[in-house]
Amino acid sequence: MSLTNPPSTAAGPGSVSAVRNQALKRSVQAAFEDSADRGTGSMGYQSKVRVTDKYKVVGFISSGTYGRVYKALGRHGQTGEFAIKKFKPDKEGEQASYTGISQSAVREMALCSELSHGNVIRLVEIILEDKCIFMVFEYAEHDLLQIIHHHTQNPRHPIPPATIKSIMFQLLNGCQYLHTNWVLHRDLKPANIMVTSGGEVKIGDLGLARLSYKPLHSLYSGDKVVVTIWYRAPELLLGSRHYTPAIDMWAVGCIFAELLSLRPIFKGEEAKMDSKKTVPFQRNQMQKIVDIMGLPTKERWPLLTSMTEYNQLPTLQPPINHSGGHHGHHGHHYQAPRQTGAGVSHLEKWYYNTINQQTSGSGPGSGTSPLSILGAEGYKLLAGLLEYDPEKRLTAAEALQHPFFSTGDPVSANCFEGLKTEYPHRRVSQDDNDIRTSSLPGTKRSGLPDDTLARPVKRAKE
């Protein structure tokens, strides 16, 4: 955002550089002070509270569809760190105009004002200043995307099993709270799962969330595309006109798999809408799911034939048949299914290959993988979350009671407990137009260290 007039042509190169540097230093703080950006009408409205009176903005964190997020410190006795989300104005042509508040912003403000749970990000306050809305949240130093990325760096090393258990338990706890209160998140992915420096996991970014209690119309009619493509449930991909909290649980299963393997389990490419805004069948993404889960069948999913895109399933390739068994460490044994066919799932094979994978310096003894301790219960939890039939898929309440959490060491409320190393702090930029804030599937924030993301460079439309 440019906040100064361009220098006159008479100015020398040195003065131009000085002006440019000064503008860059002021860009973040001035984003909150620029009256032209907010609009000042003839009404002469003055808000009771100015954002910059209560908070000192220290840097830019990320940019999303509906606004920008900044890091701030409290002023005047209000201690601590905060994340401030500034909603963007609507744009018509070259000029920014104010045509009202987006439905997404209204929902997010309404829901966050009512929600209160240790595993859901806390809204501190909402400030209306002139025609700009600021949502002030508690600050979280990390997110799951950042943590996963850290473990992909050389030497590549798995996330400790105790950390994975704690993250999953806290994530499910937050989901149970949302679902009990009839809230669907509809965009769960690693970038939207915050983690505080004290190891508390908090579900964030409720921009796509909505109440599901007694809807007047099908959920599809309100928002035709929900959930980032890699975490989108099969019933959504197959065009279901109504859906349940089970779509969030599929996403949680995808996140669990990503914590284990450090890469998205179903990493497809999203087909874009045509000029008539027709929602296309996401063939590539569905194929990625079929490659591991097998083709869905009427036996596994009785309501499958009622799906709008059911007739597209024959166009998909059945998964490649792998013969033979896989022997895991510590007595874990995977035997390939005797039955053959397109509907056979290879998820169990994927799971044991993943947790028994050798990594440099892994395990207390030679030849051991630290994740192997998760054993059969880890597979059962994963399979329950990645169940094709949404009616059979584990609910958050059922998943919290799963033996995965009651076997072995007790689950810690601090997912960092016992770790010898610290995760790098979120990168906070002084440049409001940082190019690394582009949205990719699963990535929506720039809070990663300065090394490059282990993600595709190609930008996909969310």
69 φ, ψ (degrees, to nearest 5): -120, 135
Read off the amino acid at residue 412: S
Q: Which CATH number fits domain 142-406: 1.10.510.10, 3.40.50.300, 1.10.3210.10, 3.40.50.2300?
A: 1.10.510.10
Q: What is the pLDDT of residue 12?
A: 54
Interacting residues of 197 by C-beta distance below 8 A, sequence separation 6+: 141, 142
Domain ranges in the chain are 23-138, 142-406
pLDDT 10s digits, 120-179? 999 999 998 877 889 999 999 999 999 999 999 988 899 999 999 999 999 999 999 999
Give the Cα separation of 285 and 6 in Å (integer): 47
The domain made up of 23-138 has a fold known as Phosphorylase Kinase; domain 1 (3.30.200)
Quote the mean pLDDT of the chain.
Answer: 79
Same fold, 23-138 and 142-406: no
Task: Tell me, yes or no, if 37 is annotated catalytic.
Answer: no
Give the Cα separation of 384 and 405 in Å (integer): 14
Identify any residues that bridge with 143 across adjacent strands, giving them in sequence order. Answer: 194
Q: Quick check: 354 and 370 in contact, CB under 8 A? A: no
Give the Cα separation of 405 and 411 in Å (integer): 7
pLDDT 10s digits, 260-298? 999 999 999 988 877 666 777 888 999 999 999 999 999
Give the Cα separation of 20 and 14 in Å (integer): 10
Residue 155, preceding peptide bond in cis (omega within 30° of 0): yes
**Which 3-state string (H, E, C) describes 53-97?**
HHEEEEEEEEECCCEEEEEEEECCCCCCEEEEEEECCEEECCEEE
pLDDT 10s digits, 288-327? 999 999 999 999 999 999 999 999 999 999 887 654 444 4
**Among the listed residues 166, 186, 164, 160, the one whose alpha carbon sits nearest the alpha carbon of residue 175:** 186
Query: What own/partner pairs with CB < 8 Å and gap ≥ 24 does 70-73 have?
Result: 70/28, 70/31, 70/32, 71/139, 71/426, 71/428, 72/136
Give the Cα separation of 105 and 83 in Å (integer): 16
Q: Quick check: 448 and 425 in contact, CB under 8 A? A: no
Q: Which of 37, 187, 248, 432 is catalytic?
A: 187
pLDDT band at 116 (very low <50, low <70, confident <90, very high): very high
pLDDT band at 328 (very low <50, low <70, confident <90, very high): very low
Say which DSSP state 429 is in. Answer: B
Give the Cα separation of 123 and 82 in Å (integer): 10
